Structure 1
Amino acid sequence: MLNITMFSKADSVKGQGVGSAYLELMRLLQTHWQDEFNIKINRYGRSAISHYHTVNPMFYLSTFMPNRGRKIGYVHFLPETLEGSLKLPKPFQAIFNRYLISFYKRMDHIVVVNPTFIPKLEAYNISRADVTYIPNFVSKREFYEMTKKKQLQLRQKYGYDQDKFMILGTGQIQDRKGVPDFIELARRNPDIQFVWAGGFSFGRITDGYQELKQVVDNPPANLSFPGIVDREKLVDYYNMADLFLLPSYNELFPMSVLEAFSCGTPVLLRDLDLYRAIIDGYYQAASDVDDMQKQIDHLRDNPAGMQFLHDKAVLASKDYSEERLARIWHDFYLQQAKEG
């Protein structure tokens, strides 16, 4: 049996994708490979593989300890992708950026959730040969499409109009997520119900906190902020929505998009290069807030277009299925153990 130690604090802050990805991987390994992998969490004993999911200082120090085995780093962000997420004084930001890259360089091998990160890591003098791309995934047991009848019942349960076109966004409320554009679209479309499920996971240091907090506290009548929604209830929101909109300016491999796909919810995203690298053809793209408005106008009166995006979402969820990723992770760990 292969001994694997997971080092993670990803689930200590609610409402962030890193935590969702970590929990999904843990559940996958325990479901599919419990007879082959002996998994421990945040333990400092001997291990064949140490898989670092977050970059906490104590974890960094542990990389200098003996018996860590093969050190695997999970790269969910780089210094440039943190811009627009947290607002830190420049000296602290510079120190953290150097620390982050130093952490990654302590690893024997890196896993990225988006292949566009590979050349960026090379720019930090991390060899391409030491990097593997493994995408995120979600479980169909947790995120699944419900019947139309159940979807309408959920709208009644949560207090949303059953007849209104509903647009959902999820994730942390911050500038990087494009929440100001989401708010702008809500103001432009008073006859559409907009819902953003998420909150200020990092409080006042969230970039754009003051301006966004004012809107969250006093939103337009057609804009709802239910706060950070427990993961087991998020499936309800994806099913209630007619369209999922994520207007982020910068993402890695957003769990929220995979969750929407898994629920069969049509997806509209800002047109970003990194999406083309991983999910091209499965969603509708828009260049800016005006283009998003144009796409919304087109889709809400176009049942055939909505059905097309629904079908694409279903296809995407098969490509990023739990079964396929279970085998990929299994083979990856065994290969890394051989090289350790």
Structure 2
Amino acid sequence: MRVLLYSEGKKLFSKSGVGIALKHQMSALEKVGVEYTTNEEDRFDVVHINTVGPGAERILKKAKKSNIPVIYHTHTTYEDFRNSFTLSNAIAPWLKKRLIKLYSSADFLISPTEYAKNLIKSYGIDLPIKAVSNGVDNTRFSKNKVLAEKFLLENNIRKPLIVSVGLPFERKGVIDFCEIAEKRTDLVFYWFGAKISSLLPSKIRRLLKNPPDNVKFPGFIPQEMIIGPYSACDVFLFPSYEETEGIVVLEALATEAPIVLRDIPVYSDWMKHEENCLKAKNNKEFMENIDRLLHNESLRKKLSACGKGTALEKDLSIIGQELKKIYLEVLDRKK
């Protein structure tokens, strides 16, 4: 069995969640001995599509014509497309129709979480669908005190450190992040993520150019380098309003960063308040939870330990087994 892992615009998406998800799929399949290719000219038995552009539609039609089963990974939803980049809200209704058309044409759907799965089902799509986490590589992501000290020293950080990671979209809560920082000048705030300024609305571009004095936007840094900030932070703050999962949350869990995130439906069944994270509904609660973690070492240790347990449950070796099972099931159905 050979699987075509398809994702278009690899350069464009390489710094996004979809790009990282593709890398995770490759690693997960390697761990369980499933042969794959990313070259559509190769021979393959199953297609696993990750994107929704014209290239993906072409591959979908080509596979259907050749009677090759298609699995569609529903990373993209109408809900998480909105409030992202310039004109995203205007495009979103059109996108939803396209998602329904593409996803409905597959043989099987994969969603990153139960929440995302239920969103797709709410579109009226009646296909077999399973929730499979994007996963995290715990062999790569683990707490590293040496990299933590290096990051703090190189950036001359002497105050408590608050870190977030992601594209600086309004949906991700970047405005809230800066508003919290303005009120907490006793803390240092770092937001890591590609700035892609040409795609961002003017108010976000202005924010990135003139952030509060205690906020830094270093831009995108490779995964191997982000381990330092994850390991060094006193709090990983994730104020996103909408996610299909949040790969950076998995990375933060794996590196044992104490997490404060927004109380949104995607986290209802696997991120538990007071167990592996703290949840907040508004900026006031975010600040209260930050203070709780800064002043309660036993709570920090508890969240870190439980969080690592959650990350281990979503290790790529486990995700690889789940993907392999789906591929074999879809192939068997097709026969």
CA 1:137 to 1:4, structure 2 compared with 1: closer, same or farther past 3 Å?
same
Residue of structure 2 equivalent to 1:284: 278
CA 1:166 to 1:5, structure 2 compared with 1: closer, same or farther past 3 Å?
same
Matched, 1:184 2:183: no
Residue of structure 2 equivalent to 1:102: 101
1:260 Cα deviation after fit: 0.4
Matched, 1:152 2:146: no
Matched, 1:120 2:119: yes
2:292 to 286, 298, 318: 298
1:307 to 287, 301, 321: 301
1:134 to 132, 135, 145: 132
What does 1:112-261 align with in structure 2 at a 5 Å threshold?
112-127=111-126, 130-147=128-145, 150-157=147-154, 159-161=155-157, 163-201=158-196, 203-206=197-200, 209-261=201-253
Question: CA deviation digits over 1:222-256, x for unaligned, max 9?
Answer: 11111011122111121121110100000111000
Please give the alpha-carbon distance, in whole angstroms, between the structure 1 residues aligned to 2:216 and 2:322.
39
1:57 Cα deviation after fit: 0.7
Residue of structure 2 equivalent to 1:328: 322
The worse-fitting range, judged by mean Cα deviation, of 81-90 and 63-72 is 81-90
AA partner of residue 250 (structure 1):
E
Please give the alpha-carbon distance, in whole angstroms, between the structure 2 residues aligned to 1:232 and 1:40.
24
Please give the alpha-carbon distance, in whole angstroms, between the structure 2 residues aligned to 1:230 and 1:220.
25
1:96 Cα deviation after fit: 2.7
Please give the alpha-carbon distance, in whole angstroms, between the structure 1 residues aligned to 2:199 and 2:213.
27
Q: In structure 1, the residue corresponding to 2:213 is in which secondary structure?
A: coil
1:46 Cα deviation after fit: 4.9
Question: CA deviation digits over 1:184-233, x for unaligned, max 9?
Answer: 111111110100001334x4333xx3122222222222111110111221
Unaligned 5+ residue runs, structure 1?
Answer: none
Q: Is the 8 A contact 1:7 1:52 kept in 2?
A: yes
Please give the alpha-carbon distance, in whole angstroms, between the structure 1 residues aligned to 2:57 and 2:108.
15
Q: In structure 2, the residue corresponding to 1:51 is in which secondary structure?
A: strand
CA 1:265 to 1:330, structure 2 compared with 1: closer, same or farther past 3 Å?
same
CA RMSD, aligned part only? 1.9
Q: In structure 1, the residue corresponding to 2:87 is in which secondary structure?
A: coil
Q: In structure 2, the residue corresponding to 1:64 is in which secondary structure?
A: helix
CA 1:304 to 1:92, structure 2 compared with 1: closer, same or farther past 3 Å?
closer
1:63 to 60, 65, 76: 60
Q: Is the 8 A contact 2:144 2:227 kept in 1?
A: no
1:51 to 36, 48, 52: 48
Q: Is the 8 A contact 2:160 2:188 kept in 1?
A: yes
Please give the alpha-carbon distance, in whole angstroms, between the structure 2 residues aligned to 1:287 and 1:124.
27
1:90 Cα deviation after fit: 6.4
CA 1:180 to 1:40, structure 2 compared with 1: closer, same or farther past 3 Å?
same
1:31 Cα deviation after fit: 3.5
Please give the alpha-carbon distance, in whole angstroms, between the structure 1 residues aligned to 2:297 and 2:117.
39
Q: Is the 8 A contact 1:46 1:67 kept in 2?
A: no
AA partner of residue 329 (structure 1):
L
Q: In structure 2, the residue corresponding to 1:176 is in which secondary structure?
A: coil
Q: Is the 8 A contact 1:5 1:39 kept in 2?
A: yes
Unaligned 5+ residue runs, structure 2?
Answer: none
Q: In structure 1, the residue corresponding to 2:266 is in which secondary structure?
A: helix
CA 1:78 to 1:152, structure 2 compared with 1: closer, same or farther past 3 Å?
same
